[in-house]
């Protein structure tokens, strides 16, 4: 596929602005506290009031009664809304959007702990909270299912894109393989633990609903909110210009938006609502736990001949699996292969996307298994991975990768990290009481192209303004979109204004799945192509010959400024990028290699990560500064997943016990050493006019296994159940002599 402008060349390839490490254009607003997040906005009609959600105190069962008598008479209370009140407010039962939004208000049936059952609206936050605690709900508790291991035998096979896959004859090839690995690995439930809570300010003007909210996907949520409340789409406006982290938790419509909307309808005033941290853990989505069995069969010279990956996970009825096998379909060569996922019905809070869904837990298992096989073969783990590389989709050998530089990532990473100093025999390197080891893991994440649109304006001052409902969840969207428009229109980045996160703007890809950067900038590219044509025509130039550079438009020995082109009136253009059957022609993926050095205290079992290196091949890097920020954040998240993150399930009552940031541990500065990131110099001309892919999730995928492999190399104790806490290897640590 060829991506050219009317002038016949792609201006992005000039790399005057795109590809440069520009500072974040919105950075001064964030560092001075003037970038308003969802709960902080003040642009709405009238004085706001405050909402507080009442959450279910059981995980499974029915509501018998709700007594709000005491709460209704408390100071400042304006309304208490439950499912019983929907008819009086002009709503029927909540509809079911694409992301199963019917369960965002429980009653009479309760599906999970802390499911919203009411909203209390009062004049102040404190009054709303106090009254919410005074609402008495009587329940009949049902029999819940809260233990994945116990429900594993009842797990069901899946259909569609989640169905089992098979190539060749795995069982026969595995049984005949001279070298075999057959191990089971587990990963726990995890939470996004983003800094900004789920928060919404909602208000009604007649029958039209507007929200300031914290959300990654504006169009999805507008559609789902309209469906949930049975409103025409044009009657809903969602605005989310700044998002304080999401990691996938804010992809979908959540109870803060629904309950704030219902509360605002009840009182006729704007309602501000933020979910407290315990509600975030139990009311919103999380990464589901997995049980994974991996079988590898190889020849004695190290060629994989059989690759099998089975995974079990759980979710609420009607939910979906943690797709932990997806990278196994594509990462290594092997003629005989199979993957299978099974889904158990659990009555825990909803399982859904969390950064690198599938690949994060899947690689935590697969890349340990690959290391275990390398050790059994007495091969270097890097060399073993290189030997089993493939340049085509192993399940569809006629479909090549658009670009695949895994081997280069592994080799360059090994050289830079000093991998040759690693001793193959574990527990051989000591520094005093510390045991020191190195680990490696491959990184993999598919590239996804999502249709994306933008509107571009040019005014008589020569200022280019971009409008798209794309969001910035801390990833640098404002900056790379500004860079794209600047490159396309031939101006400096200081001449570009970017407006994001408003459903009044053209629908973009949104932020998620590592698709946001490439897709949204491609949409801006398409809009700028249209604007270039309009500028050239306004100036009387041949659009096919016009060149845009240095704030000028040149053609046939004539030139004019962009400002001159708009003197007769603002020029406005909209464009949209779509992808056709590109994904059928090429397998589009991103690759990398993670290297980790870890030290383990031989007396206490304490693990300290000492060095980290990520080498990534992800197409053109649109901004090395913001891309590195994404990578080191993801690498930090990987350390958390490997060593400390775990939602502890109370298997008697069905809730996550450690439901705040005191009990749910994530890495802090003291846990993380200096992190190095190296981007392979590549531009994938197949995937988009930007020739980019994504890095936000690639930086996480594989990190947990690299940490685990380093810990094993340091101690000789193999832990297959994440997180690798000291109690799991302390008894097996070698003693000092």
CA gyration radius for the chain? 27
DSSP state letters, 165-208: EEES-HHHHHHH-SEEEEEEEEE--B----SSPPEEEEEEETTE
Q: How far is CA 215 from the centre of its chain?
A: 12
Kindly state the tokens that stand for 667: 């890495």
Report the 10 Å Cβ neighbour count for 124: 12
Closest CA to 708 of 697, 696, 719: 719
Q: State the DSSP code for 732.
A: G
Task: Decide if 697 is catalytic.
Answer: yes
**CA separation (Å) from 239 to 43, 330, 378, 450, 471?**
11, 38, 56, 21, 10
Which residue has 């275990």 as its token pair?
372
**Order of all β-strands in the sheet with 77-82:** 77-82, 116-122, 49-55, 271-274, 199-205, 208-213, 236-239
Contact partners, residue 27, CB within 8 Å, separation at least 6: none
Tell me if 135 sits within 8 A of 84, measured CB to CB.
no
DSSP state letters, 9-42: S-GGGG-SSTTS-PPPTTHHHHHTT-S--GGG--
Kindly state the tokens that stand for 725: 């806490």
Which is the catalytic residue, given 372, 597, 676, 697?
697
The three-state secondary structure class of 566 is coil
**CA separation (Å) from 186 to 220, 307, 361, 363, 595?**
32, 18, 9, 11, 22
Closest CA to 464 of 500, 487, 495: 495
First to last CA, the chain: 64
Q: Counting beta carbons within 10 angstroms of the beta carbon of residue 43, is it exposed (0 to 12), middle (13 to 18) or buried (19 or more)?
A: exposed
The Cβ-side half-sphere exposure at 543, using a 13 Å CA radius, reads 13
**CA separation (Å) from 417 to 53, 245, 612, 685, 715?**
50, 31, 9, 30, 20
Closest CA to 288 of 164, 147, 150: 147
Strands 392-393 and 336-345, bridge-based pairing: unpaired
Kindly state the tokens that stand for 387: 């030997």
Q: State the DSSP code for 161.
A: G
Report the 10 Å Cβ neighbour count for 170: 21
Q: State the DSSP code for 93.
A: S
Tell me if 487 sits within 8 A of 450, measured CB to CB.
no
Angle formed by the axes of helices 516-539 and 477-489, to 10°? 30
Closest CA to 682 of 402, 328, 296: 402
DSSP state letters, 218-287: HHHHHHHHHHHTT--GGGEEEE-S--S--TTTTSS--HHHHHHHHHHHHHTS-EEEE--HHHHHHHS-BB
**52 vs 451: CA distance, rounded Å:** 37
Residues identified as active-site = 697
């Amino acid at each position: 596929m060829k991506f050219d402008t009317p002038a016949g060349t792609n201006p992005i390839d000039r790399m005057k602005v795109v590809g440069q490490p520009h500072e974040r254009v919105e950075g001064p607003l964030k560092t001075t506290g003037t970038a308003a997040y969802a709960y902080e906005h003040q642009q709405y009609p009238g004085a706001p009031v405050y909402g507080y959600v009442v959450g279910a105190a059981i995980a499974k069962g029915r509501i018998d009664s709700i007594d709000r008598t005491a709460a209704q008479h408390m100071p400042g209370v304006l309304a208490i809304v439950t499912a019983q009140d929907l008819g009086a407010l002009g709503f029927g039962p909540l509809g079911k959007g694409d992301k199963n939004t019917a369960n965002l208000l429980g009653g009479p049936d309760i599906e999970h702990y802390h499911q919203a059952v009411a909203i209390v609206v009062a004049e102040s936050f404190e009054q709303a909270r106090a009254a919410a605690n005074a609402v008495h709900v009587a329940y009949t508790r049902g029999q819940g299912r809260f233990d994945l291991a116990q429900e594993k035998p009842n797990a069901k096979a899946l259909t569609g894109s989640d169905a089992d896959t098979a190539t060749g004859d795995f069982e026969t090839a595995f049984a005949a393989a001279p070298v075999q690995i057959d191990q089971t690995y587990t990963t726990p439930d995890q939470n996004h633990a983003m800094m900004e809570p789920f928060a919404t300010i909602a208000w009604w003007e007649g029958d039209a609903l507007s929200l300031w909210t914290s959300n990654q996907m504006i169009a999805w949520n507008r559609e789902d909110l309209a469906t949930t409340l049975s409103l025409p789409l044009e009657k809903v406006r969602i605005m989310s210009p700044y998002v304080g982290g999401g990691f996938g938790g804010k992809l979908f419509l959540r109870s803060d938006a629904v309950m704030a909307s219902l509360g605002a309808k009840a009182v006729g005033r704007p309602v501000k609502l933020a979910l407290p941290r315990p509600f975030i853990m139990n009311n919103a989505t999380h990464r589901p736990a997995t049980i994974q069995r991996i079988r590898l069969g190889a020849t004695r010279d190290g060629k994989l001949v059989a690759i099998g990956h089975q995974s079990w996970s759980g979710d609420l009825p009607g939910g979906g699996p943690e797709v932990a096998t997806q990278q196994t379909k594509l990462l290594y060569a092997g003629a005989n292969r199979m993957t299978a996922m099974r889904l158990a019905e659990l009555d825990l809070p909803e399982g859904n996307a969390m950064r690198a869904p599938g690949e994060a837990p899947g690689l935590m298992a697969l890349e340990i298994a690959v290391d275990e096989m390398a050790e059994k073969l007495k091969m270097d783990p890097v060399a073993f991975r290189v030997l089993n590389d493939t340049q085509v989709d192993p399940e569809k050998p006629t479909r090549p990768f658009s670009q695949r530089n895994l081997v280069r990532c592994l080799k360059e990473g090994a050289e830079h990290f000093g991998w040759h100093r690693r001793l193959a025999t574990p527990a051989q390197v000591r520094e005093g009481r510390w045991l020191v080891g190195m680990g490696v893991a491959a990184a993999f994440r598919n590239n996804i192209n999502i249709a994306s649109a933008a509107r571009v304006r040019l005014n008589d001052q020569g200022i280019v303004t971009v409008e798209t409902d794309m969001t910035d969840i801390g990833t640098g969207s404002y900056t790379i979109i500004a860079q794209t428009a600047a490159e396309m229109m031939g101006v400096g980045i200081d001449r570009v204004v970017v407006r994001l996160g408003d459903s009044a703007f053209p629908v973009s890809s949104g932020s998620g799945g590592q698709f946001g950067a490439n897709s949204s900038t491609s949409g801006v590219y398409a809009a700028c192509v249209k604007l270039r044509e309009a500028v050239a025509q306004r100036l009387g130039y041949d659009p096919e010959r016009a060149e845009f550079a240095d704030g000028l438009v040149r053609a046939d020995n004539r030139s004019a400024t962009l400002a001159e082109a708009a003197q007769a009136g603002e020029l406005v253009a909209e464009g949209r990028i779509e992808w056709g059957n590109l994904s059928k022609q090429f397998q589009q993926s991103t690759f990398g290699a993670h290297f980790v050095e870890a030290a383990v205290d031989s007396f206490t079992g304490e693990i300290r990560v000492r060095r980290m290196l990520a080498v990534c091949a992800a197409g053109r890097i649109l901004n090395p500064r913001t891309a590195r920020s994404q990578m080191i954040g993801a690498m930090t998240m990987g350390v958390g997943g490997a060593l400390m993150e775990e939602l502890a399930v109370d298997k008697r009552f069905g809730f996550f016990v450690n439901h705040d940031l005191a009990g749910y541990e994530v890495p802090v500065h003291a846990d993380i050493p200096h992190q190095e990131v190296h981007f392979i110099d590549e531009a994938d001309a197949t995937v988009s006019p930007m020739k980019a892919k994504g890095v936000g999730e690639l930086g996480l995928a594989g990190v947990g296994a690299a940490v685990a492999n380093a810990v094993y190399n340091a101690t000789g104790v193999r832990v297959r159940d994440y997180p690798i806490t000291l109690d799991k290897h302390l008894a097996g640590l070698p003693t000092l002599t």
